[in-house]
């Protein structure tokens, strides 16, 4: 029935499967929602969307697909989506209209004629949500006014207390800020970073393992045999390299949020700062940039079980990466890419997080170079990108 709707949802990345689709059909058969567009919208949303991040995308697709409401005659690609809603509309009308009104309908040329006109009106209406005198309070001059048709809410029939619905619900796009492609906040970052949690039992065995004790005691024919295990701890270790200054100034807030979230999430988190590209030394405190730590020392200190996260916009002159002496701050004996490769060789689980939007990456030469160096493990600093990055760190 709604095959196109289903596929378009999948296309925009709402993970619906056949199972959800069947659930929706089943629910419709069971008559769960009232026969109106809004009820259908709510039902479809509850059945097909399983994560608030996808709600906004769902709304958009819903709006796009069911615009077909307008193309009642089924021209163009309107076949599927036009068919159903017309049916729905008819049902509502049948339920609501009085006998007298039904006769009026007949006078106007019958149902089909009415539906056609209605469809035209709807098509017109789509363009201007604010509405106008044509649609509301016509006092019986328009065929639709007579039946209390409220075009803005796509609502046929009277319904108390709904006057606030100025625009179709799905067109209001209330869930926009929950979409993970867009916004980032400390809490969201934390949720994303939590992907990286990996609990393991490390340290001294000091917690009673009840199940183990029971098992051991049972197999000991009842002689108590206490078993102890170490406590579970989050064992992930993270090295965070942050680009500061220059073009990164625009992204300071984002990086601060990422940093504060990361610090709360990981017990083993070491952070270092660099400017544009990592060279022979980095620093830990931005106020005392003079106190440098040789990068070699960092390389020696932290074992291969650390996961490397580099945050930077990778926007610089290509010379800063590929040439000795290319740094804007000092004379570097070895080019930045040598240092980058050393870092990547020391810690094989590595990602580069880039706060600039992904669509801009290809326009910057240096971004392309860095991306190649990190073997395409560069992710945008959005929730969704962070999520992918954390997955890459877990498996890669």
Partner 1 sequence: MAFAGTDTYVATDDLRVAVNAAIALQRPLLVKGEPGTGKTVLAQEIAKALGRPLLTWHIKSTTRAQQGLYEYDAVSRLRDGQLGDERVRDIANYIRRGKLWEAFEAEEPPVLLIDEIDKADIEFPNDLLQELDRMEFFVYETGQTVRARQRPVVVITSNNEKELPDAFLRRCFFHYIRFPDPETMERIVAVHFPDLKKELLRDALGMFYEVREIPGLRKRPSTSELLDWIRLLLVEDVSPETLRARDPGKLVLPLHGALLKNEQDVMLFERLAFLARRDSR
Per CB under 8 A, residues contacting partner 1 are 15, 17, 19-20, 23, 26-27, 30, 32-33, 38-39, 42-43, 45-47, 49-52, 55, 164, 169, 174-175, 178, 191, 194-195, 214, 217-218, 222
Please answer whether residues 43 and 26 qualify as being in contact, where contact means their C-beta atoms are separated by less than 8 angstroms: no
- 3-state SS, residue 207: strand
> What is the smallest separation between the CB atom of 30 and partner 1, expressed in angstroms?
5
> What is the smallest separation between the CB atom of 100 and partner 1, expressed in angstroms?
30
Terminal Cα-to-Cα distance of the chain (whole angstroms): 41
> What is the smallest separation between the CB atom of 256 and partner 1, expressed in angstroms?
12
- Using the minimum distance from each CB to partner 1, give the nearer residue, 20 or 243: 20
> What is the smallest separation between the CB atom of 177 and partner 1, expressed in angstroms?
11
- Using the minimum distance from each CB to partner 1, give the nearer residue, 198 or 360: 198
- Using the minimum distance from each CB to partner 1, give the nearer residue, 45 or 121: 45
- 3-state SS, residue 200: strand
> What is the smallest separation between the CB atom of 140 and partner 1, expressed in angstroms?
29
Tell me 157's DSSP state. S
- Using the minimum distance from each CB to partner 1, give the nearer residue, 11 or 106: 11
Please answer whether residues 183 and 390 qualify as being in contact, where contact means their C-beta atoms are separated by less than 8 angstroms: no
Please answer whether residues 364 and 349 qualify as being in contact, where contact means their C-beta atoms are separated by less than 8 angstroms: no
Pairing between strand 268-274 and 237-243? Answer: parallel
- Using the minimum distance from each CB to partner 1, give the nearer residue, 118 or 169: 169
> What is the smallest separation between the CB atom of 350 and partner 1, expressed in angstroms?
23
> What is the smallest separation between the CB atom of 51 and partner 1, expressed in angstroms?
7
DSSP E strands in the chain: the ranges are 199-208, 228-234, 237-243, 268-274, 281-283, 292-294, 306-311, 350-354, 378-380
Please answer whether residues 135 and 125 qualify as being in contact, where contact means their C-beta atoms are separated by less than 8 angstroms: yes
- Using the minimum distance from each CB to partner 1, give the nearer residue, 95 or 102: 95
- Using the minimum distance from each CB to partner 1, give the nearer residue, 90 or 172: 172
Please answer whether residues 327 and 336 qualify as being in contact, where contact means their C-beta atoms are separated by less than 8 angstroms: yes
Please answer whether residues 308 and 344 qualify as being in contact, where contact means their C-beta atoms are separated by less than 8 angstroms: yes
Task: Tell me how far apart the alpha carbons of residues 229 and 200 are, in angstroms, rounded to a whole number.
Answer: 11
């Amino acid at each position: 029935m709604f095959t196109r709707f289903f596929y378009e949802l999948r296309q925009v990345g709402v993970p619906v499967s056949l199972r959800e689709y069947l659930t929706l059909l089943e629910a419709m058969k069971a008559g769960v929602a009232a026969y109106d567009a809004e009820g259908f919208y709510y039902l479809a949303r509850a059945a097909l969307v399983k994560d608030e991040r996808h709600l906004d995308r769902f709304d958009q697709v819903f709006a796009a697909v069911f615009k077909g409401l307008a193309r009642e005659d089924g021209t163009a690609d309107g076949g599927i989506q036009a068919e159903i809603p017309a049916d729905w509309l008819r049902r509502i009308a049948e339920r609501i209209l009085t006998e007298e009104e039904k006769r009026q309908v007949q006078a106007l040329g019958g149902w089909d004629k009415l539906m056609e006109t209605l469809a035209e009106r709807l098509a017109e209406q789509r363009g201007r949500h604010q509405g106008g005198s044509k649609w509301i309070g016509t006092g019986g001059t328009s065929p639709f006014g007579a039946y209390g048709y409220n075009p803005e809410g796509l609502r046929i029939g009277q319904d108390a207390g709904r006057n606030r619905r100025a625009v179709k619900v799905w067109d209001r796009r209330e869930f926009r800020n929950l979409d993970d492609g867009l916004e980032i906040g400390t809490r969201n970052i934390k949720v994303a970073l939590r992907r990286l949690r990996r609990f393991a039992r490390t340290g001294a065995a000091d917690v009673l393992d009840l199940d183990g004790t029971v098992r051991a005691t049972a197999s000991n024919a009842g002689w108590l045999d206490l078993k102890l295990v170490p406590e579970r701890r989050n064992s992930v270790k993270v090295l965070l390299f942050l680009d500061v200054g220059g073009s990164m100034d625009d992204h300071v807030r984002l990086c601060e949020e990422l940093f504060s979230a990361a610090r709360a999430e990981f017990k083993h988190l070491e952070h270092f700062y660099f400017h544009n590209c990592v060279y022979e030394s980095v620093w830990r405190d931005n106020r005392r940039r003079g106190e440098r730590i040789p990068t070699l020392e960092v390389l020696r200190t932290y074992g291969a079980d650390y996961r490397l996260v580099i945050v930077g916009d990778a926007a610089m002159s290509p010379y800063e990466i590929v040439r000795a002496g290319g740094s804007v701050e000092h004379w570097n004996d070895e080019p930045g890419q040598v240092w980058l490769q050393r870092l990547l060789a020391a810690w094989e689980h590595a990602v580069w997080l880039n706060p600039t939007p992904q669509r801009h990456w290809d326009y910057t030469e240096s971004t392309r170079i860095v991306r190649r160096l990190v073997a395409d493990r560069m992710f945008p600093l959005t929730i969704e990108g962070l999520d992918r990055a954390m997955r890459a760190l877990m498996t890669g």
